[in-house]
Amino acid sequence: MPRTSSLYIESLSHEWLERYDKVRNQSLKLVETLTPEDQMVQSMPEASPAKWHIAHTTWFFETFVLAPRISGYVPFDTRFSFLFNSYYKRLGGHPHRTIRGAFSRPSLDEIRLYRMHVDNAMQELLGRERGEMNAELLRLLELGLNHEQQHQELIVTDIKHAFWTNPIRPAFRPALHPALHPTSKPGCHSGQVRAVESSASRVVPLAWRHFDEGTYEVGHDMRGFAFDNELPRHKAYLKSFCIASRLITNQEYMIFMDNGGYRRPELWLSDAWDHVCDNGWGSPLYWERTGDTWAQFTCNGMMPLDPAEPVCHVSFYEADAFARWADARLPTEFEWEIAAGSVRDSAKTSGNLLEKENFHPVPARQSAKAANQLRPSLQQVFGDTWEWTSSPYTAYPGYHFPAGAEGEYNGKFMCNQMVLRGGSCATPESHIRSTYRNFFPPQMRWQFSGIRLARNPELDG
Ligand SMILES: [Fe+2]
């Protein structure tokens, strides 16, 4: 169960009201360009319609905050407690996740009224609190806001997949953001030599940052909010390791492809190779080849593939195979966390996160620090793409399943999934931190997921 520190108890209710409004409005802003029909589409079982996300996040506040804390609270519609429950078995059941796109009723207008009903009740509840806030209310409020931010990222990734599934390929954000593709070419050749030649001046050289062997503290320090899966903080022994200064680029991934990456079973884990063969994988998700050039589907629609951008929409299986091909490996989640802890706080505010509204990873920047081969700075740590680690998603030593329905939030998924770190271009800035653990099954690739390599120091020199 998420914890609340004394720092938060001292916060004032009006500050929380502002924060509540800001997070809730961010969700509506994300869907404002979508039609009611767009918001109904569910293009695969793992994705959900935007309308469902908007309703389910509202359900969360109604279920976990309003109903238990306001005596005589009148729900907007008693049927919604079942309809918009995602997976909480202790709350009495829910529709199967694969049919969320079948709910034409309630209408989008009714969902908007549902949000207003809950927002009004939340504002009344928070307004009642004067001065210092009740600690339990704060804990639930914080959980609800972080939950909503998780679904904001899913709104983007799910509508991107839905629009890619549509043969006319609509764009989530039709206007090309000027920060993207400043020098895009009409398409890069798939051939290794030509790809390198066409983009060499823009790709930042990859350097390795060394970290010493030692026993490190990992996990959240309880200053501020954390999900239960980031706790408890504990010690972890790490051998010395090196981690890459930036994410792997499309150019580097194309070289892997041109080198037979998808045709060489020796590069792949057993399950991974079966998955490649069964699904005919030959490139990352959203890549399309026309003649000898590659394009990719983005939130701006189909775009030429930029060799300097981070490779994105790859699975753990692909990330692991690429690392093996590159004579490297993926970092463990604790190596990643220690490396991320060495990055300045400003890396987050300058990171390519949701608020930048790029909705797409951007190339690493040329800088003297990044080029320092002895102690290069780490780029793209927060934002751009989630970074696969080699760590399975399991409980930390001393972890306890929280009691009650809230205990179903994270703990019950600690099986058959891999940890990703760092956030993406669809992650809200106030939602990500160095201890944050995302998790997905190893074959999934509709999230903005990419690759940062690690290696053992004995390979150096
Ligand atoms: Fe949820």
Question: How many angstroms is it from 146 CA to the middle of ligand 1?
Answer: 10
Question: How many angstroms is it from 117 CA to the middle of ligand 1?
Answer: 19
CA-to-CA distance for 145 and 154, rounded, in angstroms? 14
Kindly indicate the confidence band of residue 185, based on its pLDDT and cuts at 50, 70 and 90: very low
CA-to-CA distance for 180 and 265, rounded, in angstroms? 35
Q: 214-218, 276-280, 369-373, 428-432 — which is least confidently predicted? A: 369-373
Question: How many angstroms is it from 398 CA to the middle of ligand 1?
Answer: 25
Is the model's pLDDT at 452 over the cut of 70?
A: yes
Residue 305 has a pLDDT of 97
Kindly indicate the confidence band of residue 192, based on its pLDDT and cuts at 50, 70 and 90: very low
- How far CA 51 is from CA of 26, 35, 100, 193, 432, in Å, comes to 14, 10, 9, 46, 24
Residue 316 has a pLDDT of 99
Kindly indicate the confidence band of residue 128, based on its pLDDT and cuts at 50, 70 and 90: confident
Question: How many angstroms is it from 144 CA to the middle of ligand 1?
Answer: 9
Question: How many angstroms is it from 313 CA to the middle of ligand 1?
Answer: 22
Question: How many angstroms is it from 13 CA to the middle of ligand 1?
Answer: 25
Residue 176 has a pLDDT of 56
Residue 363 has a pLDDT of 96
Q: Determine what percent of the chain is predicted with pLDDT higher than 70.
A: 89
CA-to-CA distance for 217 and 275, rounded, in angstroms? 36
Q: What is the pTM of this model?
A: 0.92
CA-to-CA distance for 459 and 461, rounded, in angstroms? 7
**Cβ of 66: how many Cβ atoms within 10 Å?**
20
Average pLDDT over residues 193-205: 56
Residue 169 has a pLDDT of 96
- Mean pLDDT over all residues of the chain? 90
Is the model's pLDDT at 348 over the cut of 80?
A: yes
Residues 6 or more apart from 440 whose CB is under 8 A from it? Answer: 316, 417, 418, 420, 447, 449
Question: How many angstroms is it from 57 CA to the middle of ligand 1?
Answer: 6
Q: Based on the number of CB atoms within 10 Å of its own CB, is 408 exposed (0-12), middle (13-18) or buried (19 or more)?
A: middle
CA-to-CA distance for 16 and 142, rounded, in angstroms? 9
Closest CA to 455 of 395, 400, 390: 390
Is the model's pLDDT at 90 over the cut of 50?
A: yes
Is the model's pLDDT at 395 over the cut of 80?
A: yes
* Maximum pairwise Cα distance, the chain: 70
Residue with tokens 């408890």: 232
**Greater model confidence, 359 or 130:** 359
User: Which residues have a beta carbon within 5 Å of ligand 1, which is an ion?
Assistant: 86
